[in-house]
């Protein structure tokens, strides 16, 4: 029998093919909310809001699998790290955007919203795969996230063209085109 982490390695490769429609709705809703909050130009509120949204998302995913979260410490740490990473990546992307004049097309808020939404999706998909494999919030580790990124890169899901196509598609959806 596989341990949750061993089972997780097999489900993380292409999680959207295995995520149930209910869990996908939870992740999609949280991603949209996190993207919206991240676009706010108010420091600290954006990070705190995204942390709250991600924690609520993980709670709902856990509940959908009848997984109790006895200690929210790891969930909180994952959400805080994700939000801080989002902020750092956003700052780097914004600096790059300024130097290439891309910010004139997309704007800093859209860059922040996209990165925060992407990382919220990652958190949701990793926790979903982990809970689906029989894991708990207490036994998830950084290896689940590392495996997720490794497998996504290997499957070409995280290629520049796929990410940019996804960003453009979501931006067009938001404006109704």
pLDDT of residue 125: 93
The model's pTM = 0.71
Sign, CA dihedral 58-85-149-109, equals positive
pLDDT of residue 59: 93
Angle at 120 between CA 77 and CA 102, to 5 degrees: 120
pLDDT of residue 58: 93
For 42, the 3-state DSSP assignment is: coil
> pLDDT tens string for the chain (177 positions)?
444 444 444 445 455 557 889 999 999 999 999 988 988 877 788 888 888 999 999 999 999 999 998 877 778 787 777 777 666 666 666 666 566 555 554 566 777 788 888 889 989 999 999 999 999 888 888 888 888 878 877 776 655 566 556 656 665 665 566
pLDDT of residue 51: 87
Would you list the domain boundaries of the chain? 4-174
Quick one: three-class SS letters along 87-145? Answer: HHHHHHHHHHHHHHCCHHHHCHHHHHHHHHHHHHHHHHHHHHHHHHCCCCCCCCCHHHH
């Amino acid at each position: 029998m596989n341990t949750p982490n061993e089972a997780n390695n097999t489900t993380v490769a292409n999680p959207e093919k295995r995520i149930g429609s209910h869990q996908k709705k939870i992740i999609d809703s949280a991603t949209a909310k996190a993207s919206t909050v991240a676009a706010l130009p108010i420091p600290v509120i954006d990070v705190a809001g995204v942390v709250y949204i991600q924690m609520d998302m993980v709670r709902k995913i856990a509940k959908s699998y009848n997984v109790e979260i006895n200690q929210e410490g790891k969930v909180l740490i994952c959400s805080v790290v994700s939000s801080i990473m989002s902020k750092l990546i956003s700052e780097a992307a914004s600096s790059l955007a300024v130097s290439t004049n891309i910010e004139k097309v997309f704007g800093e808020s859209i860059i922040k919203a996209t990165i925060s939404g992407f990382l919220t999706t990652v958190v949701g998909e990793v926790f979903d795969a982990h809970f689906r494999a029989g894991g708990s919030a207490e036994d998830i580790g950084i290896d689940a996230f590392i495996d997720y990124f490794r497998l996504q890169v290997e499957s070409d899901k995280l290629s520049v063209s796929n990410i940019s196509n996804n960003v453009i598609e979501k931006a067009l959806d938001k404006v109704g085109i």
